Chain A
Amino acid sequence: MRHILSILVENEPGVLSRVSGLFSGRGFNIETLNVAPTLEDGVSIMTISTVGDEQIIEQIIKQLRKLVTVIKVVDLTEVKNVEREMMLLKVSAEEGKRAEILRIVDVFRCKVVDVGFDELTIEITGTQDKLTALINLMQRFGIKEIARTGAVAMRRSMQ
């Protein structure tokens, strides 16, 4: 099953490689990984989405907790959570296609953030499913490039 882990870490050199090295060294999966500073000085938050059975996820969480530079690990899959991911998608958009692409952008409530002579760059935020749906729809116009942030997530206030 897919799990989203939220990991508070000391923001110091090497911490990312400690975490990623743990995953590669022990044969765990990283599906997506996102790191950014938090409000607290010297503390960063990593969001990792990973897959594995219960026993593997338990090992991943314990192994992460064992790292000295990891302050806290929460498995957000165990609680109600909001999960979002942001993607930039560059699609070819010659004259004839443009109108339909813009209609889809409208339906998905995403936005065009850059325009070229024959291409558009779209920014979309949502769940993984929503991003995948957009990719599927855009495929036939010719996707030139995508960049994704990986999932970020938070515990919902009302549990």
Chain B
Amino acid sequence: MELTGAQILLESLGREGVDVFFGFPGGAVIDIYHQIPNYPNLKHVLVRHEQGAIHMADGYARATGKVGVCLVTSGPGATNTVTGIATAYMDSIPVVIITGQVPTPLIGNDAFQEVDIVGITRPCTKHNYLVKDITKLAKTIKEAFFLAQSGRPGPVLIDLPKDLQQQKCVYSYPKKVSMRGYNPHYDPNVKQVRKVAELLCKAKHPVIYAGGGVISSGASKEVTKLAQTYGVPVTATLMGLGCFPGDDPMWLGMLGMHGTYAANHSISNADLILAVGARFDDRVTGKLSEFATKATMVHIDIDPTSIQKNVHVHVPIVADCRLFMEALNKEMAAIVEEGEGCPPKTKWLEQTAEWKAKHPLKYKPAAKGGMIKPQSVVEAIDKITKGDCIIATEVGQNQMWAAQFFNYKLPRTLLTSGGLGTMGYGFPAAIGAQAAFPEKLVIDVAGDGSIQMCIQELATAVCYNLPVKIVILNNGYLGMVRQWQELFYEKNYCNTCMDVAPDFVKLAEAYGAAGFRVTQAKDLEATLKEAFATPKPCIVDVVVDPEENVYPMVPAGKSLTEMILV
């Protein structure tokens, strides 16, 4: 059967199981848009800015584990996605980006709306393609989806010139891909599994340090099983939150710059660290030379480049985290069966419990009738929802409080830009998640600064009735930057005060969403409940204490135990 390039694209998206995708039209993709009505199973969400489209695809991917897809035009449409592509790349999120391109004969001539998007995105995609031969289009799409979701996932971009969208060829969608330069290694090595099991049995102070790889590989159950069966405390990175139940006695909390006292001290005193799908980011390790100096380091990661990149690892293991943890659980069971056993780490658990009890996450409560504390807003959300919702965050203090004061219990319930720290990410990501799960409660914990970066997507949320709840922790500042200025730059609050801000309630209403404002602690829960029960997109503008800081804090470049506490 002969199909046009545009038809091949849409037909192939269907074959890949895409049910919804996010995009914005333009001259270089009109041919594709012309065909969309003929593919009723592919729901297209029209955004208001291409950055929104890519973040939505990303949020959809994080919430579902499936590939998120976005479609944009050439030139400015394509460049508007770059921030979102880099966001997905840093956090290893599977998305496929389709960009229109000027017709092949015009490429290289500075044609209208021409930009070398393949060149621009080379360092922030897992791979990218410029399709120049219609007969290779189907194969390229197949490869793109395969690359995006296999190995260490990531964004893959396909640049499709307009003339190819119009050309025809016989369509057949390949069943398999084979790329001689791409062959991720999944299977754990039996000897290494044994070795790690033995180390774990012998260890007196073991800690599991879980990263985003635990969630993307689906290893949460296995990690939880290991920790609970053998009594191993667990900490996680921002990207790993949700991979282990936040109410479990083995849970230490997040580690790193704004990590808990217990997590940072456990890591610093551990004699064995199982780093699972984590990458020793500088926000996690603090001063490298003083990071976990007493520990034998075991690092399991699907990506060989993550291993031995920042930290010297004693047992490097390239494998899929889920497969490895599965094998490790089996091996541990065998060791116990053999009668050698894994002695309980009683003393260590007492010690970690003591750290947890001595310095839990806390904040100075608001004075009576005083301003609402931002942390209490996140706590209220946790309480009202009983943890049963998807949280997206913006970036800054709001993000850290959302990470600290909500008990994540399940994977894929926190959508946050960890690696790139992209302000404006949370709201569109929440829309993407809502599109995947129309019945779930999806909440964007926002800052008054960040929310203005993709606020235009309110129109999208209203248009498709995706009833995302935006809860703004409105401190009137670019709070995280202000915090650094306060602590390290002589309180020189240069350009961080957002004193001219829109009336967010009216803004919501102007878009056809619902707006709420809370200024008194006594109204907080009731208003949140009302908003959560409102069947349309809502903004809840919570006016909070403007100069509240995120603690604990490890100043950049300091060791993990040099924490500023409340």
Contact = CB atoms under 8 A, between A and B. Distances in A.
Interface of A: 9-10, 13-14, 17-18, 21-22, 25, 55, 58-59, 62-63, 65-71
A45 to B, nearest CB: 14
Contacts of A65: 304
B130 interface: yes
Contact of B181 (A17, A21, A59, A69): A69
Interface in B87-126: 118-119, 122-123, 126
Interface residues of B, number: 17
B179 interface: yes
21 contacts: A10-B180, A10-B181, A14-B118, A14-B119, A14-B122, A14-B130, A17-B119, A18-B122, A22-B123, A58-B308, A59-B309, A62-B304, A62-B305, A63-B305, A66-B304, A66-B305, A67-B181, A68-B147, A68-B179, A68-B182, A71-B180
A57 to B, nearest CB: 11
A17 to B, nearest CB: 7
Contacts of A25: 123
Given A17-B119, A21-B123, A68-B126, 20 more contacts: A9-B181, A10-B180, A10-B181, A13-B130, A14-B119, A14-B122, A14-B130, A18-B122, A21-B122, A58-B308, A59-B305, A59-B308, A59-B309, A62-B304, A62-B305, A65-B304, A66-B303, A67-B181, A69-B181, A71-B180
B127 interface: yes
Interface in B144-203: 147, 179-182
Nearest to A54: B308
* Residue among A13, A17, A67, A68 with most chain B CB within 10 A: A68
A10 B181 CA distance: 8
B127 A17 contact: no
A63 B180 CA distance: 16
A14 B305 CA distance: 22
A129 B318 CA distance: 39
Contacts of B304: 62, 65-66
A67 B308 CA distance: 18
The main secondary structure of chain A at its interface with chain B is helix
Contacts of B180: 10, 71
Interface in B264-317: 303-305, 308-309
B181 A71 contact: yes
* Residue among B119, B123, B126, B130 with most chain A CB within 10 A: B123
Nearest to A43: B180
A18 B125 CA distance: 11
A69 B127 CA distance: 9
Nearest to B156: A68
Nearest to B305: A62
Contact of A68 (B119, B123, B127, B305): B127
A109 to B, nearest CB: 40
A134 to B, nearest CB: 38
A14 B118 CA distance: 9
A68 B122 contact: no
Contacts of A14: 118-119, 122, 130
Given A58-B308, A67-B181, A71-B181, A17 B122 contact: yes
Nearest to A13: B130
A13 B108 CA distance: 13
B122 A70 contact: no
Contacts of B182: 68
A53 B94 CA distance: 33
Contacts of B305: 59, 62-63, 66
B181 A68 contact: yes
Contacts of A21: 122-123
A66 B130 CA distance: 20
Nearest to B182: A68
B130 A55 contact: no
B143 to A, nearest CB: 9
A91 to B, nearest CB: 40
Contacts of B309: 59
B179 A55 contact: no
* Residue among B127, B130, B303, B305 with most chain A CB within 10 A: B305
Contacts of B181: 9-10, 67-71
Contacts of B303: 66
A71 B130 CA distance: 20
A43 to B, nearest CB: 9
Contacts of B126: 68
Contacts of A70: 181
B193 to A, nearest CB: 22
Contacts of A10: 180-181
Contacts of B179: 68
List the 5 shortest-distance A-B pairs measured between CB atoms, nearest first.
Answer: A62-B305, A68-B127, A71-B181, A62-B304, A68-B182
Contacts of A62: 304-305
Nearest to B318: A62
Contacts of A9: 181
Nearest to B128: A14
A10 B303 CA distance: 21
B155 to A, nearest CB: 13
A52 B546 CA distance: 48
Nearest to B119: A17
Nearest to A64: B305
B77 to A, nearest CB: 21
Nearest to B184: A66
Nearest to A66: B305
A68 B147 CA distance: 9
